[in-house]
Amino acid sequence: MLKSILKRLGILILVVVGATALVFFMLHYIPGETPDVIARYIFIGNIEIEPSNEDVALISQYYDLDKPLIVQYFSWLSESLQGNLGTSYKTGQPVLDEIVIRLPATIKLAVVSILVSLIIGIPLGIVAAIKQNSILDYVCSTGAVIGVSIPNFWLALLLILVFSIYLDLTPVMGSGSVEHLILPSITLGTGMAAVTARLTRSSMLEVIRQDYVRTARGKGLSEITIVVRHAMKNALIPVITIISLEMGHLLGGTVIVETIFAWPGIGKLLIDAISQRDLPVIQGCVVFMTIMYVSVNLIVDLSYSILDPRIRYEM
């Protein structure tokens, strides 16, 4: 068990380092990311004004942009390992502080969205599997297909149009109250609920055909007991995998939804940094998203052994 955990931790570290290197070099090699452009966007505030040579040289020296790129990367990596992700060009604040400030809003939205998806998706998937080929199964399956097909940005605009503009029940954008959380969480949770329902249905259909379920029925156990105590635990293993991927994605920030609803999370911070050419913030956000994604997946991998003893014995 310990050997398996250490192996996964090693893979996690390699993934994070590889992602940081890829993002760092891509950001610095794309056209326009030069001291000249940074001076125009950040310090002058007007892309049309030509900065002086002295300003460009000062920016290059201050942010070490005059050094070779490989030297810049290892310098940044060394500082990052100590918890220093750099300083924002725009605000002058440490990037880590910028991310930490936005993190509670992102966590709140992620947790509520996952709860919405679980509350809707798992019961619908179980009912569709138990009532296979019935009208209820067809309704649940059709709803899941529609939910998967609807883009988040279109659903977000539709919800704003109906509930905020026509019915005036919820705020259009922003944060600060429970009402502000309703539309973003429904937007994110609906799509995930559709995926969860489809996967729960297929997994439950496979499990309820197993021999131990037939044995439980032969003992005279009720259908609810069989589903809850015997079938559901094994059927939820692939569902947890999908949920972990979605949770890692949500904790990293949902760029489109946070931008539409002006939700002050990490996704909105990333969009603002891209529009302002704020390279340290972009790098910091991507690194944070990567760490969140692989960390959640590591935790879920280890949780498999709790749900299924056979996996624990193999580990």
Judge whether residue 313 has pLDDT over 50.
no
Which pLDDT tens digit goes with each residue over 179-238?
Answer: 888 889 888 888 888 888 888 888 888 887 777 777 777 777 777 777 777 777 777 777
Judge whether residue 315 has pLDDT over 60.
no
Which pLDDT tens digit goes with each residue over 37-75?
Answer: 666 655 555 555 566 666 667 767 666 666 777 887 888
CB-CB contact of 76 with 283 (8 Å) = yes
Q: Residues of the chain with pLDDT > 70: what percent?
A: 82
**Yes or no: domain 104-278+292-314 corresponds to CATH 1.10.560.10:** no
Please identify which residue in the block is written with the tokens 């936005």: 102
Burial of 113 (0-12, 13-18, 19+ CB in 10 A): buried
Position 292 confidence tier, pLDDT thresholds 50, 70, 90: confident
Domain ranges of the chain: 2-82, 104-278+292-314
| The pTM of the whole model exceeds 0.75 | yes
